[in-house]
């Protein structure tokens, strides 16, 4: 079972990520400060780390630099509120394999984790993992577009993420709460009807019969 280190000082976010990853079959360890993050890799064998930058004690970039300087080479995905291009460049040049900004969707985070874990040398993506085909529809994770009978459809980021959730769970009923967790993460109003609104957007673009309503339960991607 894959071991993932979550370096995050906000307990709510760390718990949210850990819960989602455990549901997907991963083991997780949470480090809430830089000192813990720097010491844990010596006593644990991790397959990947999620690293916040704004940590108590030392900056996350210093943690990353120390790991790489010590020969610790597991993939690292920076997960931070810092969205400045300079921070992204410094993080990637400093040894990070990927960079995501908060707020984030769990579905996208999970997809990036899976890609990194499937890489043999952490810097090359396997192209066969970048497309999901369902009936006459192809979801391309590289271009973030959908092909329907060779007709290309572009989707805004949130719509694409929801489509990806349905494509990864064909025929499975997804509850509104599951979709909120996977698409909006912790950044949503639980009392809103945002899920129904976005399902409506997808139906208009993918076809009204593509996503079925299962009364009292949620929605599912219809496959023949």
* Residue 5, burial from CB neighbour count under 10 angstroms (0-12, 13-18, 19+): buried
* Domains of the chain, CATH where assigned: 3-118 (3.40.50.2300), 130-221 (1.10.10.10)
The SS3 of residue 205 is helix
CA distances, 215 to each of 118, 159, 173, 175 (Å): 37, 22, 10, 10
* Residue 51, burial from CB neighbour count under 10 angstroms (0-12, 13-18, 19+): buried
pLDDT in single tens digits along all 224 residues of the chain: 788 999 999 999 999 999 999 999 998 999 998 888 887 655 457 889 999 998 988 899 999 998 887 777 889 999 988 888 888 888 888 889 999 988 888 999 999 999 888 864 444 444 445 788 888 899 887 788 899 988 899 888 889 989 988 988 888 898 988 888 778 876 667 678 899 999 999 999 999 889 999 999 999 998 76
């Amino acid at each position: 079972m894959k071991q993932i280190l979550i370096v995050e000082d906000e307990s709510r976010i760390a718990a949210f990520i850990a819960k989602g990853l455990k549901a997907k079959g991963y083991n997780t360890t949470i480090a809430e400060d830089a000192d813990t993050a720097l010491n844990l890799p010596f006593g644990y064998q991790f397959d990947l780390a999620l690293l916040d930058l704004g940590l108590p004690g030392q900056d996350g970039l210093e943690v990353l630099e120390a790991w790489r300087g010590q020969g610790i080479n597991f993939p690292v995905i920076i997960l931070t509120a810092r969205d400045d291009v300079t921070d992204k460049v410094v993080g990637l040049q400093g040894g990070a394999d990927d960079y995501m900004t908060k707020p984030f969707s769990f579905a996208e985070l999970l997809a990036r984790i899976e890609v990194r874990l499937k890489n043999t040398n952490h810097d090359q993506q396997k192209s066969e993992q970048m497309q999901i085909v369902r009936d006459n529809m192809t979801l391309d994770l590289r271009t973030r577009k959908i092909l329907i009978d060779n007709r290309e459809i572009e989707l805004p980021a949130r719509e694409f993420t929801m489509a990806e959730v349905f494509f990864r769970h064909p025929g499975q009923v997804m509850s509104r709460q599951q979709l909120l967790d996977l698409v909006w993460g912790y950044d949503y109003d639980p009392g809103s009807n945002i899920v129904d609104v976005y399902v409506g957007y997808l139906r208009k673009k993918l076809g009204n019969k593509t996503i079925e309503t299962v009364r009292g339960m949620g929605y599912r991607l219809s496959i023949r």
